Amino acid sequence: MSPFDPARWPARLPERYWLGGVQVPAMLLDTPALPAAPPVHTLALLVERGRIAAIEARAPGGAATFDLDGAFALPAFVDIHTHLDKGDLLAAGLGPERDLFTAVDRVRADYARWTETELRARIGFALRTAFAHGTRAINTYIDWPEPGAPEGPLAWRVMRQMRQQWAGRVDLHVTSLASIDRLADAQAAETLARHLAAGGGALGLFVYPGAPLQWLPRAFDLALRHGLALDFHVDEHLDPPAANIGHVARLARERGFGRRTVCGHACVLGALPEGERDRLLDEVAASGLTLVSLPYTNLYLQDNGVTTGGTRRTPRRRGLLPWHEARARGIPLALASDNHRDVFFPGGDLDLLQALALAANAAQLDDALGGWADTLTTTPARFLGSAWDGRLRVGAPADLVLHAGRTSAEVLSRPQFGRQVLRAGQRLAAADATPPDFRELSRELQPQRPRSFAQGLAAGTAPRAAA
Ligand SMILES: [Zn+2]
């Protein structure tokens, strides 16, 4: 019987209880009293008033005990790289695009259509989805095409409202996304940095192949002067001569800014000859910067099979940075979602456990939970400066993702099933525990006129086809 069978797992948990027989990856524990660890510990967690009050080898009684019979317990997830401003653009009527740079242009042409209502609908849908999957913090980018604009983009204003609304459920971190060439205008760059500093954002820049790198030092100047973290979209391609990450790493090291610098994508590292790859990874390691791998989008967008003749071909090279070589050098590595159901990527659901399942397969991770669970929990939490670093210790919030599976294989072969999310020691309310239905979003985005009198009477209650 599943440990989460309703007969033994009540909808409302007591104020004080033991979770017995849970497995926790040793890398996520901060419990000096436990003996030297195998990759995964079996132990008992005492939950009291929403926090972890004790961690023992087994539940000693004295409070209700729920024996989870080897189920996994992970800290709630932290998704460090998402694009909530663009999420679900497919539901708003746009089509997917396989080429990264064509997708950039298509979205740019769509900004003028965006309204506050639509942004709130799409972003709210994304946050409800991520919350249901067990995510407690998200960093989202906001496209920032005009850094000098006095107001900042509409999505920046909406996102800050949503951040307040969602505080305590999903902590929303916000980062700009502007092409590095936009820093050429010193005044515009200054305006951007001021917006970000005043609104609690980070400075995010897109460093594309052939980008004018003379503006990279200005990015570090701005970040240092305004106290901003630096976040680069860099090397989202497989063209070795165009690799830029070495320049970013060198500057981060020279400026002593590696711990506040993050680089997403870096797919080209997977396509370089081994010697050059190793040299660049050594540079990255020396700088202390954090790498973020985004397998969902990059397995889709890189080597994308578009041919001039219109014939489809299967990709041969994969958009994946070298996970094992990065880990061997002690480079902080995070796994994140990136785009979801937009022009860049038609899939994705902001579910980091499913992303880990994909990464486990694509990067051939052995025992993905025991060896790599830090990529979706503690490593991104540390970079974002979360109040809780994600490690399970006495006093930490009981914000947990439980999964009935007893091994990485069992959990990751069925990531969507047998999952229970606890926040402050309680199960999510039934309405929050399942991702929202796509029809809800379609109704919000494209309200349809009733097509008949009978449908008119049922408006708002009857299910309708997604347009
Ligand atoms: Zn991105």
Smallest CA-to-CA distance from 277 within 246, 236, 319 is with: 246
Smallest CA-to-CA distance from 236 within 324, 171, 167, 301 is with: 301
CA of 411 to the centre of ligand 1 (A): 27
Domain boundaries, the chain: 16-76+391-433, 77-350
The one-letter amino acid at 281: L
Distance CA 357, CA 360 (A): 5
What pLDDT score was predicted for residue 47? 98
Residue labelled with tokens 């008992």: 44
List per-block mean pLDDT (blocks of 10 residues) for the chain, which spans 467 residues: 94 97 96 79 97 95 95 98 97 89 92 96 98 98 95 96 98 98 97 97 96 97 98 96 97 98 97 97 98 96 81 89 98 98 96 98 96 98 97 98 98 96 97 97 74 41 33
Q: Are 284 and 259 in contact (CB under 8 A)?
A: no
Q: pLDDT tens for residues 280-329?
A: 999 999 999 999 999 999 999 899 877 778 788 888 999 999 999 999 99
Q: pLDDT tens for residues 53-79?
A: 999 999 998 999 999 999 999 999 999
Q: Superfamily for 77-350?
A: Metal-dependent hydrolases (3.20.20.140)
Q: Please state the length of the chain.
A: 467
CA of 231 to the centre of ligand 1 (A): 10
Catalytic positions, please? 236
Smallest CA-to-CA distance from 441 within 160, 92, 161 is with: 92
Q: Are 247 and 216 in contact (CB under 8 A)?
A: yes
pTM of the predicted protein model = 0.94
CA of 140 to the centre of ligand 1 (A): 9
CA of 338 to the centre of ligand 1 (A): 5
CATH class belonging to 16-76+391-433: mainly beta
